[in-house]
Structure 1
């Protein structure tokens, strides 16, 4: 079990980021008129679009599942005396990973963006950013004073700020596609940094 946790910890994060990025590039390139700056990723998986099912699987579901596995591995590797903010933060980040995957299972309906199907997707997006922003903040704050975990704590805090700023920014402040990619990139980057945390259980600094 320990070897499995270590394997997941080392590889799940970068695989999630690579899978999402490659899917966005490949399917966006194949869809005529699609602009990464203007349109959210969910448009590539909207109902009726070419290859929508494949994009939802590779762009949301698989990366979300890998991120959830990374979150479980991180939770198992936290210092034994880690306090409640770090532990709750890790659990919320796992919830954010499941919500990320849910965005692919609940695709947008481009013919009815205010309809129930699109609203389910919007709910998954909202749950993602709330869990990601809150979880990253708690994890970063809970690990900030612990040796060996400072890089992850700093990345978690930065990720939290970027996710929340993008989610709460007034419409029109920047193109929707750019803002969403900043948020997703910061969140996926957190899992890459998490893989670099050594196995040793660092002690809190005085």
Structure 2
């Protein structure tokens, strides 16, 4: 297998979570419990371009690179694993796209805002079936036996947090926890891919 940097998922998580924490701290009226993450990169927001770069684009591209390596690793695992890896890659690109389609607080129905929302939806809609397919198709090979279990758990968690959890917790909190679950999966997948194969 081609060399893979095991820290890519962790680096993506640190960049995105760090950017969200740092840029929100500089905005007195911003609340992680009430406001969408994309508002930190909206038009008219101080340092919006920097947040979009470090909060969405770079982490998403790191995740996409990891997804590409995962696709390579799943070539011999059957169609479920291969399709799952492609969907995970698509999910990562959709995450990055959120930073390129900025919200407009004055007009949430503007084209860029609709594209941002569509990118967010594509992020989880691609990830959930992709991770589930990986869970069933990856197999217990190459020291990566837990990858399937962790993929299934992450898929179920992201689905529950994006669809069901907003009924009993603030939607902004639910979506942030979903992002954290995704980043946790990315981190695990990076190290799992780099694990030395076992016979």
TM-score of the aligned structures, taking structure 1 as reference length:
0.89
1:44 to 40, 57, 65: 40
Query: Is residue 98 of structure 2 the alignment partner of residue 103 of structure 1?
Result: yes
Query: Is residue 7 of structure 2 the alignment partner of residue 11 of structure 1?
Result: yes
User: Deviation at 1:173?
Assistant: 2.5
2:162 to 167, 171, 178: 167
Alignment deviations for residues 59-112 of structure 1 (CA, whole Å, 9 cap, x no partner) = 00000000001111122223x530111111111000001000000000111111
When the two chains are superposed, the root-mean-square deviation of aligned CA atoms in Å is 1.8
Equivalent residues of 1:77, 1:199 under 8 A apart? no
Q: Which residue of 1 aligns with 2:87?
A: 92
Unpaired runs of 5+ in structure 1?
none
Q: Which runs of 4+ in 1 moved over 6 A?
A: none
Equivalent residues of 2:143, 2:196 under 8 A apart? no
CA distance in 1 between counterparts of 2:126 and 2:184 reads 16
Unpaired runs of 5+ in structure 2?
none
TM-score of the aligned structures, taking structure 2 as reference length:
0.92
Equivalent residues of 1:144, 1:154 under 8 A apart? no
> How many residue pairs get matched?
197
1:68 to 64, 70, 89: 64
Query: Is residue 68 of structure 2 the alignment partner of residue 33 of structure 1?
Result: no
Between 151-160 and 171-180, report the one with greater CA deviation.
171-180
CA distance in 2 between counterparts of 1:40 and 1:55 reads 13
